[in-house]
Amino acid sequence: MACRYGCTPAEIELWLGYEDRPLASSGFELRDFRPDPTAVRSWARAARLKIADVEAMMLSRSVRTIDWYVADRRERGICPDCLDEDVSVGRDHYLRREWAHVEAAACGKHRRLLQDFCDRCFARGRFGFECIEESARLVCGGCSTVVSGVQNKIESAANLDFLLVLTTLLGAGVEGREDSIAPDEIRTAIETLWSPSQANGKPFIAWLSLKLPCGRVPVCAVRGNPLAGLLLPWRIATFVATAQLLDLVQARRWFGPPPPYLEDEFAIRKRSPLARPAGPPDSGGAPETTRKLSVRSDAEYRRLAEQVMASQDWKTILAMKGSSRGRKLGRLMNRALKGERDRSNVPRPI
């Protein structure tokens, strides 16, 4: 509604008389999850809608708790084909509530991945509404291109099917549906993946042999809600890794079993979820008791390096370029270290 007047929601709320109370547009909870009743009535009158219809849009009426939503709209994915469908029936673009779910990764109706970037200029997370020809349209804030699904996305049918089944299963668990996986088990798996390992503090997910998004691995996710600060590609990678850890949708058949040290860490957290909080410990508390590392000698590392450099895999990697070379090299080194670790019975990566 605000874009029809060339305003922001905050400006509309000030016009409605919000000077003396928090703006509904100031945060996810007041905007979408649990808005002030006065704000609901004001917006209903301004938009000429029934108050009950606006109240029905409150996300707090769902069984899903607030920490299983992506609070920042810029970090959510959208389905351009759904928006094209809005245009075809003569209505405004509107954001589907399921796109705000943390596990939302693909549109089952149009069989395509959700996207958080512009097809034209590749700007990420800059979508906003503008009034175009008397209709609200979602446009890119970088190049002002209207979001559309005219550029067909070719996805692997098998990968898409896996992701759709997985996200449906995880969504059922988050909402506590009957015969579904427990939400606490999903949360524990995610916290395990994003807790710092003993290898330079990198999160455990960085050591998995999965196709991870390009760019630097986030060092530490938000305490208590590991998905809150992750971009859409990293959320997708997290749920695939969660499926591997919990063996959902035959994920281990696709990607193999998770490393033993990760299963050990997950088992520890399941037994005592408060024993090892996600993220680095607070600097002011008492020092934690940790297991002593069995660090290898320089001679052992040299011997391992010589073995790697003498292998055919090393020669193949030298001919590669770009990020794929780095990933292959990391996997080769991890495999060499894992072989030594299995023989020496060292339980965690060093």
How is the chain split into domains, by residue range? 2-61, 73-140, 181-281, 308-350
**pLDDT 10s digits, 182-210:** 989 999 999 999 988 876 678 889 888 78
What percentage of residues in the chain have a pLDDT greater than 70?
Answer: 82
pTM assigned to the model: 0.74
- Output the 3-class SS for the chain: CHHHHCCCHHHHHHHCCCCCCCCHHHCHHHHHHCCCHHHHHHHHHHHCCCHHHHHCCCHHHCCCCHHHECCCHHHCCECHHHHHHHHHCCCCCCCCHHHHECCCCEECCCCEECECECCCCCCECCEEEEEECCEEEEEECCCCCECCCCCCCCCCHHHHHHHHHHHHHHHHHHCCCCCCCCHHHHHHHHHHHHCECCCCCCEHHHHCCCCCCCCCCCCCCCCCCCCCCCCHHHHHHHHHHHHHHHCCCCHHHHHCCCCHHHHHHHHHHHHCCCCCCCCCCCCCCCCCCCCCCCCCCHHHHHHHHHHHHCCHHHHHHHCCCHHHHHHHHHHHHHHHHHHHHHHHCCCCCC
pLDDT digits (tens, 9 = 90+) for 119-168: 889 998 889 999 998 899 999 998 999 999 876 666 788 889 999 999 99
Residues of the chain with pLDDT under 70: 18-26, 151-154, 199-200, 219-225, 273-295, 322-324, 339-350
